[in-house]
Amino acid sequence: MDTVTMRCRCRYNNNVRLTWYKGGMEKHSNSSKSSAGVTYRIISVSMSDSDIYTCRGCHSYYNSPKSNIITLQVSERPKAVLKIEVECSDFKKKKVKLRCEIPGKYNDWEYEFNKNRNIIKTNWNNVFEIEHIPRYEYQYTCQGHLERPPSYSKLSDPITLTPGGEAITEPILEFSQNQVWEGDLVTLHCDTQVNRWYAVSSLRYTYYKDQEILKTVLNESTLELRLTRFNDMGKYSCRVTNEGTECTRSSNPVTLHVSELISSVILQADPTAFVREGQPLILTCSANVMKPHFTEPLLYTFLKDGEPVKESSSSAQYTTTANESHAGKYECEGQLNTVTKRSLPVSVHVQIPVSTPVMVISGNRTTSPGDSLHISCQSSRGTDPIHYQLYFKNQQNNNIQLTEDSKPISYKLKITGEVQTGSYWCRANNSEEDEPALSNAINITVIVPVSGASLISNLSGTGVSKGVSVFLTCTLNAGTRPHFFWFHNGHELPSIDPAKTYALSEDGNYLTIYSVSERHEGDYYCVAVNGHDDSETYTSSSSIVQLRIAHSSSVALIITAILITFLLVICIAFLAIRYRSYCSEWRKYVEKPKVNRQNSRLPAVPTAPPMDEWREENNPVPAASSDDRFPIDDQPTGEGVVYSMVDIKKTTGANWKESKGRTGSANSDSVEYYVTYAKVNVRGSVKKNVHASEEEEEGGTDDEAERQEERKILEDVRENVYCNSENLYENFKMN
């Protein structure tokens, strides 16, 4: 132990009585006078001596002030630690190493080893080797020394070396009972013996189950274990470790058999774990107690996603009305005393009907080709997966599906034309049992800019006459819902004319001027306008059309009338000459025969066919005039005659015998006339022959009256058959 000496000295008078103070409190101690002053000595300094110290001299007439302060700080002297480095299992023929360690900031200690309190070695090496195990029991200690304070360390605790035997015997693990049930309290006992050589150290006990650490205790050879679960059954062991040397021994594993107190807990959903919102959700928990003669009730707890939804009770059923919050994983626990078992989880699915989807269109709903709109559709609630469909109802009321997806729709609509004008809506459903939910409908209008305006009119280049009506039409190549504006000489025409001289159609694209006058003369054009919003407008202007009134003089009218009259006269003269020409054409072929009126068997002229009716239906040729004098045999029913060809021939001599049978005349001088005509219709032609004969007396007469009569008959035939049917003349010949 260290000694501290403090000295107090008066400067002018040493023959005074001195008083010592520790921490401001007067300290009584033995003092002695000397020429150097009064001293204060502390023998064997301890930690309690740490404090501040002062002194004061006492004169017979007055007290002197206190001296300066001295602070005394006492530090704990480090204690040496002696350790053994040796194999723990067998010490025979083994070297033993003793290692001395001194904690602190100093590392230049000189180490001193002691055997039974006698110094056996001093050097700068902190390891001392013992070559042979001693036959007898010895105690070893160590200590450190310095050439400066603290000068030396505290002596280490002794280590006793005893020759022979194991350091620690093999531990044996035992259970407090053989029949073990879930929930029982079992005591594990780890029994071992330690060689006296290690008696100075503590023993650390570590308990294992299936090679996993259960618990570590110090100097406790027993462990109480509550077997709360059936799977606590397994192989148990213990390990004993000497704290000083870390020498360790382990027991053999021992199997612990645990009987099941509660059978497996089973959770069931009745009738199914898939329920619709609003339907009852029923969960049933079942478990059995296996230990005989056990009468305590079994408690049940229902959990959802690990959290209790019903407090523990004897009821094994949980019932509620399903809603969206009831979807999740459910479990149930069966509890008996300290034993609790949990069932396997059951996933409950609550089918939530799809709510009305909300469709949102970002962008202007009145748009033009080239623009793009973003359409989104989503339901705020409903069980996944939700099937979405996006539809478009065009202007013809046809529903067209644009896209579908199993997640909320995000659709980019690129505007290409007016055909995309219509109503857009979406629907969502997540069950075949429910009707799909329909969103709100949003109308999109595509405005095609007006283009290609042009003006169509009934105006001529020479102008129009006063009082006539003029029609102007404004047309476009393209454009949606255009508005038309009309301009006259650069000024816009009001949609309603107060004077009512013109009118616009309902759409505005037709301009009608009822009675043209000088006030209407000028330049006309139209402008078509459309667009969406006031921010964007499209226009297209037509070309200019000029309206002029034609001013005609009286001289021009007279000249025009004369020219027209002259042309009419020329046409009439030409037709008259033409008529006379072809009427005389056939006359030159007509022979003037002598006809005996009394014996003439020339048939009556047949009646002309009804050409007027046929002409109205088919109009292939001009109709011939009707005449009762020219009957036509075998007139076709329901078919029109195109034309008739007539041929008159005279026969004499050789033909007399043939004609005799027909005429009943045997006169050799008789003359026969054959009249041939043809009916031409749709089906073809039918040729008929009509003949007549005249008897000429020997030395016939040249009576002019008879010839005139004959000529008259033939001319009647000619006029009724040919002259009244201009299309028949070309086929008529007479010999």
Q: What is the pLDDT of residues 205-220, one digit of tens each?
A: 999 999 999 999 998 8
In a domain, 343, yes or no: no
In a domain, 167, yes or no: no
- Domain shared by 142 and 9, yes or no: no
Dihedral of CA atoms 373, 374, 380, 383 in degrees, nearest 10, equals: 120
Work out whether the CA dihedral 356, 359, 365, 368 comes out positive or negative: negative
Q: How large a percentage of the chain has pLDDT more than 70?
A: 70
Direct distance between the N- and C-terminal alpha carbons of the chain, in angstroms, rounded to an integer: 189
For residue 504, what pLDDT band results from cuts at 50, 70 and 90?
A: very high
The domain in which residue 536 lies consists of 454-547
For residue 677, what pLDDT band results from cuts at 50, 70 and 90?
A: low
- Domain shared by 598 and 729, yes or no: yes
732 contacts 645 by C-beta, under 8 angstroms = yes
Which CATH number characterizes residue 543's domain? 2.60.40.10
**Lowest-confidence segment of 258-262, 393-397, 727-731 by average pLDDT:** 727-731
Residue 379 CA to residue 427 CA, distance in Å, equals 9
Work out whether the CA dihedral 656, 662, 665, 666 comes out positive or negative: positive
- Domain shared by 51 and 126, yes or no: no
Q: How many domains would you assign to the chain? A: 7
For residue 542, what pLDDT band results from cuts at 50, 70 and 90?
A: very high
Average pLDDT over residues 118-144: 83
CA dist 288 → 99, 261, 263, 296, 330 (Å): 63, 8, 5, 12, 20
End-of-domain residue from the set 128, 161, 194: 161
In a domain, 586, yes or no: no
- Domain shared by 52 and 120, yes or no: no
For residue 58, what pLDDT band results from cuts at 50, 70 and 90?
A: low
Residue 270 has pLDDT above 60, yes or no: yes
End-of-domain residue from the set 479, 512, 547: 547
End-of-domain residue from the set 338, 369, 399: 338
- Domain shared by 60 and 92, yes or no: no
Residues 6+ apart with CB under 8 A from 613: 640
State residue 635's pLDDT score. Answer: 44
Q: Which of 223, 90, 93, 236 is nearest to 169 (CA)?
A: 90
Question: Is the pTM of the predicted complex or chain greater than 0.75?
Answer: no
Residue 608 CA to residue 631 CA, distance in Å, equals 6
Residue 531 has pLDDT above 70, yes or no: yes
- Domain shared by 254 and 270, yes or no: no
Average pLDDT over residues 369-381: 91
CA angle 513/517/518 to nearest 5° reads 125
- Domain shared by 123 and 207, yes or no: no
Q: Which of 235, 237, 230, 227 is nearest to 338 (CA)?
A: 227
Cα atoms in the 13 Å half-sphere on the side-chain side of 88? 18
In a domain, 310, yes or no: yes
What is the amino acid identity at position 96? V
Average pLDDT over residues 351-370: 89
323 contacts 278 by C-beta, under 8 angstroms = yes
For residue 408, what pLDDT band results from cuts at 50, 70 and 90?
A: very high
**Over the chain, what is the mean pLDDT?**
77
Residue 443 has pLDDT above 60, yes or no: yes
E strand or H helix that includes residue 570: helix 554-587
CA angle 248/254/260 to nearest 5° reads 140
Residue 475 has pLDDT above 90, yes or no: yes
Residue 214 CA to residue 185 CA, distance in Å, equals 15
In a domain, 565, yes or no: no
In a domain, 513, yes or no: yes
- Domain shared by 623 and 716, yes or no: yes
Residue 680 CA to residue 683 CA, distance in Å, equals 8
- Domain shared by 247 and 282, yes or no: no
- Domain shared by 415 and 528, yes or no: no
CA dist 253 → 185, 390, 588 (Å): 20, 70, 158
61 contacts 18 by C-beta, under 8 angstroms = no
